């Protein structure tokens, strides 16, 4: 049995490799790596790897290009040593040696996603009844969160119309 995660990695591998990312983990887990405060104002754009003879299994000494909101470059510049340390700790080796910050006048922070509405008693009971047959507690909890998100909907969501 193949997981959806494995299929997604195979489908996106070429696109992420084009921008220097060996895999999507750095972009997907960016808020976790650099922290919520910084991740609201910047995102990783690509990694530029130094040219070397032969291909090594682990690429070393890359330059991470970060796209930032206008006026946030100086703040990010002060955080650069911490960002490099966190990324290298995430990878487990010295993948990143430098950071280049590009401020983007077209930065669109957009509204923060709103949490799902809480379920009414009838929907919560119906969801609980559907999940009674699931034996694995971790899977049951994950399905309960998914069901609550889908059934609760989000304010202003097209699903609510």
Whether the pLDDT of residue 129 is over 90: the answer is yes
- Residue 81 clears pLDDT 90, i.e. is over it: yes
Residue 23: what pLDDT? 52
Region 33-49: what's the mean pLDDT?
A: 87
- Residue span(s) of the chain under CATH 3.30.300 come to 4-103
Average pLDDT, the chain: 78
The string of pLDDT tens digits covering residues 89-104 is 888 888 889 999 998 8
Residue tagged 């009414």 (tokens) = 120
pLDDT for 54: 60
Instruction: Collapse the DSSP code of 66 into the 3-class scheme (helix H, G, I; strand E, B; otherwise coil) and give the result.
Output: strand
| Token duo for residue 55 | 């291909």
> What pLDDT does 112 receive?
52
CATH of domain 4-103: 3.30.300
The model scores a pTM over 0.85: no
* Residue 153 clears pLDDT 80, i.e. is over it: no
Does the pLDDT of residue 115 top 90, yes or no? no
**What per-residue confidence (pLDDT) applies to 57?**
47
Higher pLDDT: 118 or 86? It is: 86
* Residue 121 CA: distances (Å) to CA of 59, 131, 147, 155: 53, 15, 14, 19
């Amino acid at each position: 049995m193949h997981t959806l995660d494995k299929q997604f990695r195979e489908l996106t591998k070429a696109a992420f490799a084009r921008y220097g990312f060996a895999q999507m983990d750095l972009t997907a887990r960016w808020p976790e790596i650099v922290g919520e405060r910084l991740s609201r104002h910047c995102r990783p754009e690509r990694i530029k790897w130094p040219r070397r003879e032969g291909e090594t299994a682990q690429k070393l000494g890359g330059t991470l290009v970060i796209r930032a909101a206008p006026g946030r470059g100086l703040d990010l510049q002060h955080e650069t040593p911490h960002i490099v340390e966190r990324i290298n700790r995430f990878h487990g080796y010295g993948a990143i040696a430098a950071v280049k910050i590009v401020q983007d006048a077209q930065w669109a922070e957009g509204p923060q996603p709103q949490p799902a509405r809480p379920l009414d008693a009838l929907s919560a009971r119906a969801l609980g009844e559907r999940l009674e047959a699931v034996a694995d507690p971790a899977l049951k909890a994950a399905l309960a969160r998914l069901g609550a998100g889908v059934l609760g909907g989000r304010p202003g969501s097209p699903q609510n119309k």
